[in-house]
Structure 1
Amino acid sequence: MADTLDLSHLTEEQQLALQQFTSVTDQDLSTAVPLLQKCQWNAQIAITRFFDGDAETIDPVAEAAAAPPPPAHSRRSETLMHSLSSPRHSTSSSRSRNGLEEAPRVVATPEGQLTQPLPFPLSILLLPFNLTYAIFQRVFGAVGYLFPVLPRLLARIWSGRASRPSRDTGRKQLNPRDTAARFMREFEEEYGVTHATLPFHEEGYAQVFDIAKRDLKYFLVVLLSPEHDDTAPFVRETLLSPEFVHFVQQPENNILLWAGTVQDAEAYQVATALNATKFPFATLICHTPSVSASAMSKIATSAGPVAAGDLIAKLQGAMQTHNAELERVKRQREEQQASRNIRQEQESAYERSLAQDREKARKKKEEAAAKEKAEREEREREERAAEQARKLYQWRRWRAQSLPSEPGEAVKDAVRMSIRMPDGERVVRKFRADADLEELYAFVECYDLLSNGEAEVSEKQALEPEGYEHDFKFQLVSPMPREAYGLEKGGSIRDRIGRSGNLIVEKIVEEDDDEEADDQ
């Protein structure tokens, strides 16, 4: 049914919400569109209702109506860039009663919105300042090349004072998938490891976030900053340690690993949203139903360099605390899915039953139609046979009345015929010498009427039936030597037979009669 939906009438925002919902939930369009319509095309509410399984018990329309209206660009609103203006307020508001901080879903800002070109008049006014900055940057780069200790000292001082991550604005910005692929390639080249040593997800943060929420898995986020001296030791001694590699690769731990460098726009936005103020930064995120039905919270956070054993112990402790809760939610979802499967099976069985009933009704209707057609054809055949019999009787009466009478003794050239009827009766009659052979056949055909006197005693003269052509069902044959006198050749009785003849009436058996006899 999904292929029958017409999506051309959807607006751009509705199509974007539909794409986001289907990419997270992996549902068909026939299921996604009605739920999004109920939720006023709010993808976040629709995703929450789907995973919680309460789309039918809670009115999503009222919830969507109560939700604040989305900004003009829905994807930009998810980047949480507005949190930069009041980080403390956002941090305090995201704290729950259990002491957990909710982890936001961050979607990378579109490339077109990362940099806004200045108006031409303003760029002309700022041209001297830009030239001065470029010259100073080149001079400082030359000094840093001659005295390498200066950039490290300044970076250490700046990292101690800075409270927010920084990114390289000159680095080319890519889409989330390509950004993740570039990070993995640079990570493997810089630290000399083979591909898939660490199971990084080659997707954007938002995509992995949605997978973790859908599958109830742990989402481990690692953010690195090449500007910090602790990054390389942390990677070599902690992330690439055999213990940590084994820990994140174990299927039973259900860990989805995502990492990025704050030089990239997406990782920078994630660091800002997660309040990462010290690098390297690692946080473990999972679904926390104790906070809210759809919350994803940070359950363990590590900022700065840490040993592999300490990091693993911290993550394992947080996972053990939330395993029971996740298992409970997983069982609830399984029960809900089982209920949905049962309903679907019942609906399928009902549809099959309806299909069978429709098929039975169709066959019954076809049988009734076939029976009615056969009865109609039988009635028509009987009517045709009755009409044929009526016309035959009328023709026989007409022909019997139109036959010339038998010539008397005074007619010397009359021909004399001895005819043996089918019932064995021998009939002798004279005919005119010039009488046509058809007259002899007509006499045999109408003999029973002539012998009973019906033609003579009839009060009303019979008329020849219209549209009727009589076909004789017999032929006259001489016994020795055997010769059949058919009407095909025509001619008079005297020319064909002679002055006298001894004839036998033989019935002509047609093929239809033979088939009916065989059937009987």
Structure 2
Amino acid sequence: MDYDALSLSQKEAVAQLQALTDGGDAEVAIGVLDSVQWDVQRAANLMFEANPSAPLSISRNFETPPPRASSSTPAPAESFEVDDSEQAGLLGGRAPGRQFDRVTPTSNAVALFIIRPLRILIAIIAVPYTLLRAILRALRIPIPLPAVPPSFSITHMGLGISSAGLSHRPTPSKDPKVAAERWIQSLEEETGCVSFSRAQAGEGEASGIASGSSSVLNRRTSDDANTRFLPDFFIGSYEAFARACASDSAPKIGCVILVSEEHDDVATFKRTTLTDPELVRLMHDNDFLVWGGDIRDRDAWSAAQKLQATTYPFVAFIALQARRGSSSNSQSPVLTILSRHQGPSIPAATAPTSARTLITHLQEQLLPRVTPYLTRVRAQTLDKETARLVAERERERDRALRAEQDRAFEESARRDVERIERRRAEQRQAEEDARRQAEAEEQAQAQARREEEERAAWAETRMAWRRYGRRMLLPREPRPGESGRGKTVRVGVRMPDGRRAVRFFGEADSLTAVYAFVDTLFIPDDAAHAPARDPAEPPVGAAPGEQGLLHAMEQAGKKNGEWFGFRLAMAYPRKEIHWEPGKRVGDVEGLSGGQLLVELYEDPKRRSSSDSRRSSNGKTGNDSDEYETESD
């Protein structure tokens, strides 16, 4: 609850309670007053003594307490499961149960006739000061006033004058760690001892354990068998200490020590119980976590409220335990108050907080009952951690396997893509080759058609010249006794197909007549090519006679054998007879009476195309010794 939101009467009540409690924290005062309907007297009783109606057993709740439904409902403190049924034998033979009798004050008469009237008198005296202070605070006037007036502190054991009235004590720190370190340092200075772990290790500091800078560290004597040490105190807040005790990975037994410096039994408790070597070693050997503080500090006071401390010094042992009324091992354990010990530490044999009482309780009851369960919890935690690590390794292996499978799949997909691309490239290449081959074949066919057309046209032209030559260039044979054409010359001709022909010429006849005679032997013997139907005019308008033939040769670009398509040669000795315009038969030596061989002339172009056709048919140009004949 915010202080500024309080009414004037509520602010006055807070000021009165702070004056009675030596200037305590305003938030604590507001909470206490709110729980008792803003009754200053009841709030003072609650803070100086203890709430006798407070229950001893409440369920554990480590979370932040829920908000109060109304201002009349007390604020719930952090609570625990309480298990203190085993303490009856340690407290003077009390009957076993869940309740404890508070340690009674030294004298009821003193409390009745001195303490209560004195407390009322102090409250009456503080009223004017409280009212003035509340008014100035409400008006926000910064007038310096003493924080609290000297006050008396009433304890359960008697009447004592507060040290605040004699000397100024440090302002309580709001940092739990600083408060814990300061309290441990004051404890070391007061007892002249150091923590057990630091003493054994010989170091100046220990992680998580109290470290003091006092010169009393040098008072320790290692050779003294009676050297005393302090427990290894946990430095930090009470909440952090509770979380450390309830750690899933390493649960431990916790020991909470709360004192009030205004209590007469605290000094003896510090010098006897807290420095007892056997108790310190027992807690150290069993890995206890020890936390302590003075209830004047906020964190220690909050811990006292949560643990329901009613008398000081106060010692409580807490640890994880199974939930009450549950037989299932699967439920998570709960942090439980195992036992509570409060009151004087003397006499040593029977006092609730003496070292011997605590040692007997730990050895005979608490450790035998709690250690197996904590061991089982640690084992279960270890098994869970092992299972978690195994599961993590399984997941890592599965992830690695999936990654490997993904890589293999990607590699396979890449190879498939490459194979498909390669096949497509091969298909495109094959299609391109087929297209080129088709184009080449088409071109070859076109070329062949052109050549065939040219050959047909040339054959037609040649046939026309043959028939013209048979009629106009070949003279009749000389008659017997005819002398105008010179001496008669007999010419025998052997054709490539084996035919033989004989013709008589005059020596004055032209050599063209001999070639014309051989040329006529290539004319087919049918009605369409009958001699009577031979043309009298040369083809394509050429000039008549031998000059027209010469001109046609020049236009066609063919000479001799290229024009006629054959060569004439004497059989023996072989001598080729070339055609020459104007040459006479008598001018050819050895022609008379001889036999001429007709050799077909092969055009180089025609020979190359013929060779290519024979190569395509699996034959070479030398496979046949046959003569080639012209097709008509």
Give the TM-score normalised by the residue count of structure 2. 0.40
Structure 1 or 2, whichever has the larger Rg, is: 2
